[in-house]
Amino acid sequence: MTLDSAHDAPRPLYLDHGGTTPLDPGVLAGLVERLSWPLGNPNAAHGPGTRARRLLEDARRTLSEHLGGRPEELVFTSGGTESITLAVRGCTAASPGRIALGATEHSSTRTAVESMAEQGWAVDTIPVTATGLITASALADTLRPDTRIVCLMLAQNEIGTITDIAALAPVVRRLAPRSKLVVDAVQAFTKVPFRVSSLGADCVAVTAHKMHGPLGIGALWTRAPLKPLFKGGGQERGQRGGTQPAVLAWAFAEAARAAAADTDACHRMAALRDALVAEVLAVLPDATLTGEPPGPSRLPNNAHLCIPGLPSEPLINALAEVGVCASAGAACSTGKFRVSPTLQALGRRAEEGAFVRLTVGRFTRPDELPEAARRLAACVNALRPAYAGRLTAR
């Protein structure tokens, strides 16, 4: 399906900042410049090595300031998945115990926990409300005295629900005093204000590519030293082997600095998101917002919509064809449609329709939104007749 003439590819409208974000132009320019610097291995004693070490440690200091921790508590990794896996596997006791896991955790956390289950760990799922919140009582009911790890996310990647970690951490300390609290802040960092030192967590995972920094670098803040996933040459104080990419570390820290300097960014993104939802509801009045209403319990850049009368996958594909970059939390398998584990945890069903996540970023322009809504409505209206009465659950 194309909306424009066959020869004119539609102007791309990038509304998948929850997936990854374009590089901040200032970060890109600085990155390109530094890639041409004669830098050595940051662990070498010679001049180029010393310069790389300085770049790396300056980045560690800057990033720590923005996270609210100390530089010696920060481990550079390849991204959010590695940070979370290091936190879960690296803080474990010698003998298996119980792990409590939020029902809407990202697959990187779920799979890290599943690998622990294969080694004899018992896994307890913490249920969420219909909008994705974890209440103190749901957490309390799940925790056991022998819970050793608790995994919670500060901001949910699909529906954007924000968890009040600082309010839940005391529940963990009271009911499972020997446990480590691992927090996934991958979507939250720079969009939800927090300081690791006052969150009450033991480990906090972040990544650069969700905040207009580069792919390939993340970090883990850790209160206590961790066992490495791979030892390598003992880099990162023995917690993560492998030569550190000093230039990527610089870019990560610079992206955090630029996001913090853009003091109006969260308000702007929330206004853009609200305008986008209004545009969509104007052309698709039966669409509904999934999750928490816009406000303090929802990521400022996230709109997640349920559109009745058609499944998610064909809609996402049709949107891709007309240049709208969006994502869905659902998959089609052998002709039956099913929703993502996150939507299942909320009690949502595939028969309800297409679930579409539209996420804006710091550089999204207001004029892109009416056009995105127009293309979305055209796709929905073109597909609906083909699915009349055909939506079945798996």
> Quick check: 79 binds ligand PLP (CB under 6 A)?
yes
Please, what is the angle between helix 25-35 and helix 246-261, to 10°?
160
Of 184-192, 286-294, 311-319, 385-393, the segment contacting ligand PLP by CB under 6 A is 184-192
What distance in Å separates the CA atoms of residue 197 and residue 70, rounded to the nearest whole number?
9
Picking from 129, 186, 123, the residue whose alpha carbon sits closest to that of residue 153 is 186
How does strand 302-307 pair with strand 354-359?
antiparallel
Contact yes or no for 182/151 (Cβ under 8 A): yes
332 carries an active-site annotation: yes
Pick one of 106, 240, 268, 375: the residue that binds ligand PLP (CB under 6 A). Answer: 106
Stretch 306-365 residues interacting with ligand PLP (CB under 6 A): none
Pick one of 157, 222, 301, 342: the residue that binds ligand PLP (CB under 6 A). Answer: 157
Pick one of 21, 62, 64, 81: the residue that binds ligand PLP (CB under 6 A). Answer: 81
Pick one of 23, 149, 186, 328: the residue that binds ligand PLP (CB under 6 A). Answer: 186
Helix (H, G, I), strand (E, B) or coil at 149: strand
Of 183-191, 250-258, 272-280, 368-376, the segment contacting ligand PLP by CB under 6 A is 183-191
Pick one of 153, 171, 319, 346: the residue that binds ligand PLP (CB under 6 A). Answer: 153
Picking from 53, 108, 110, 105, the residue whose alpha carbon sits closest to that of residue 79 is 108
Q: Per the residue annotation, which of 151, 306, 332, 379 is the catalytic one?
A: 332
Contact yes or no for 13/371 (Cβ under 8 A): yes
**Which residue's C-beta sits nearest to ligand PLP?**
80
> Quick check: 108 binds ligand PLP (CB under 6 A)?
yes
Q: What angle do CA 108, 111, 115 make, to 5 degrees?
A: 140
- HSE value, Cβ hemisphere, 13 Å, CA-based, for 3: 22
Identity of the residue, 81 or 239, whose beta carbon is nearer to ligand PLP in the bound complex: 81
Question: Under rule CB under 6 A, how many of the chain's residues touch ligand PLP?
Answer: 13
State the residues that interact with ligand PLP by CB under 6 A.
Answer: 79-81, 106, 108, 153, 157, 184, 186-187, 207, 209, 218
